[in-house]
Structure 1
């Protein structure tokens, strides 16, 4: 009688830990990108950048990750003031010395199917060199 609730609690804890791990990797990757923007970002290669980010996420198959990862970049002056979801449709390179915002989102893998789908989100603001 106690076993099933205990198993459910353990599975939920594992799910939360996995979500936090993917969230942390995504945030760290975006912060590293802002510190030293790679050539993929500066040239506007969204698919190449997605592949680079997915190389750092070990729990998601790379092909699935590249397909599901949403990445968008645009000048901060063009960002709407209302809350908007990351759609992955906008990837503007901007001009030199523009303040840019880079946002990413990916669904986290589900261990426990009864839980709703979680999304790891991250964003960073940086000045384009």
Structure 2
């Protein structure tokens, strides 16, 4: 990452709010992703399992980190994204995404801790991202 400004360890990205997601948004995601698990679409099934509403697809929430990271640093590419789904976000809830720089080096890139939480402020996703410069700019 030679010649590029590297973010400082501890730098926090601005909060990014998404949602709330309604039934139509969950149905559209199910269709586009091929994940038509009825748990995300059926109110009666969600209640039978113990949720007051269907949970939002975890991958829909994890994928929402990409625009946050791209808006933060247009000069970096998202090389790796992963997350653990800790607690569901339910249909009708808004979600806040945050990230903080844990490591930043020319050799290894920028490693971030990701956090998504719903309206209860309980973590929904704890994740990691690695961002790098394009190959032509690396030395």
Question: TM-score surpassing 0.5?
Answer: no
What TM-score comes out, normalization by structure 2 length? 0.36
| Bigger helix share | 1
